[in-house]
Amino acid sequence: MLATVMFGAGDVRIENVPDARLIEPTDALVVVTRAAICGSDLWPYKTMEYSETGRRMGHEAIGIVEAVGADVRTLKFGNVVVMPFAYSDGTCVFCHEGLHTSCIHGGFFGTRDVDGAQAEAVRVPQADGTLVVLPVGTDDALMPSLLTLSDVMATGHHAAVAAKVGPGRTAAVVGDGAVGLCGVIAARRRGAEQIILLGRHPNRIALAREFGATDVVSERGDEAVERVRELTDGFGVHSVLECVGLEQSMRTALSIARPGGSVGRVGVPQDETMPASRPVFYNNVTVSGGPAPARAYIEELLPDVLEGRIEPGRVFDRVVRLDEVPGGYRAMNERETIKVLIEF
């Protein structure tokens, strides 16, 4: 079968690889019908050292169950399923707490343990706990929005949860990538009365406004902090959704939280240390977040997608076939596009 393999920075190829197959009795084999390129795929795209064997990419997918292992109970051939970016058993102590990304039998797609989903098929470990059956056909018009439940919409939602967004509160979203835009959707969905987007790309800002952003701050650094304060009676916001992961974006996020506020960070941190330690301390700012337990959120978000109350699929502004995926990485990396959908 064909799959996306990254061999090093800037070097993504579509390769012939051994067919995905069942290995464990708890596995499902899923034929992929939609996948995506993620902003987090761009970190290795910028920095990965050359590897002879390469890395199998992709952790967002919708597909059709082709086969299930002997211990799989809830899935059958032909089910249309969405795959969260992490697999999980659904039964351990952390899954019961809704923290599926810490599942003691879990892990992440597109890593050394499990192959990626930018491929014609993918092996899904812990299939009963991981996959969610969708009540639609594979060509449903809602497919792009349903696909965001794999990662970006769930991650934006997680940022809003971690930042304690709620009715009557003010929120700021740092980052205008797909996750930041989904963070705007999530902040509005949770009732924030003011939603400030920190971003600078006109097409992304326009989409953010349609998603519910009330204000936009395009400055950076100290000027951005100043602007947010101006927009919030000088105090800063109750809730900050940090959706980038760089030192500067984190510093900005921590600096625009008002005293007693919360920062929910979902941008994968690119640094070992966290900046702005003193203002965070003196302002009693809560810092939370991490990888989103997407599996925990799909059931909550799915009805909103199915009934059209949220349209996170609008973050996809380019569709490619599998053989065009290397160009998709390039386009996303050069910011020609917000997020790339892969159709099979």
Report the interface residues with Zn ion, using CB under 5 A. 88-89, 92, 95, 103
| Closer residue to Zn ion, CB minimum distance, 86 or 195 | 86
Three-state DSSP at 249 gives helix
CA 8, 10, 12, 13 dihedral sign is negative
Instruction: Determine which helix (DSSP H) or strand (DSSP E) holds 259, and give its type and residue range.
Output: strand 257-265
| Closer residue to Zn ion, CB minimum distance, 128 or 176 | 128
Rounded to a whole number of angstroms, the minimum distance from the CB of residue 35 to Zn ion is: 24
| Closer residue to Zn ion, CB minimum distance, 94 or 344 | 94
Q: Residue 310: name the closest of 318, 319, 301, 299 by CA.
A: 301
CA 189/CA 212 separation, integer angstroms = 9
Residue 261 CB neighbour total at 10 angstroms: 25
Rounded to a whole number of angstroms, the minimum distance from the CB of residue 159 to Zn ion is: 22
| Closer residue to Zn ion, CB minimum distance, 103 or 340 | 103
| Closer residue to Zn ion, CB minimum distance, 35 or 75 | 75
| Closer residue to Zn ion, CB minimum distance, 6 or 114 | 114
Tokens of 291: 């990888």
Rounded to a whole number of angstroms, the minimum distance from the CB of residue 26 to Zn ion is: 12
Rounded to a whole number of angstroms, the minimum distance from the CB of residue 323 to Zn ion is: 36
Rounded to a whole number of angstroms, the minimum distance from the CB of residue 295 to Zn ion is: 9
Rounded to a whole number of angstroms, the minimum distance from the CB of residue 48 to Zn ion is: 29
Using only C-alpha atoms, what is the Rg of the chain?
Answer: 20
Find all residues with CB under 8 Å of 324, minimum gap 6, and list them. Answer: none
Tokens of 342: 């892969």
In this structure, the dihedral spanned by the alpha carbons of residues 226, 254, 193 and 297, taken in order and rounded to 10 degrees, is: 150
Backbone φ, ψ for residue 49 (5° rounding) = -75, 150
Strand 339-343 to strand 316-321: parallel, antiparallel, or no bridges (unpaired)?
Answer: parallel
| Closer residue to Zn ion, CB minimum distance, 92 or 149 | 92
CA 338/CA 179 separation, integer angstroms = 10
Rounded to a whole number of angstroms, the minimum distance from the CB of residue 97 to Zn ion is: 9
Q: Which residues pair with 263 in a beta bridge?
A: 240, 287
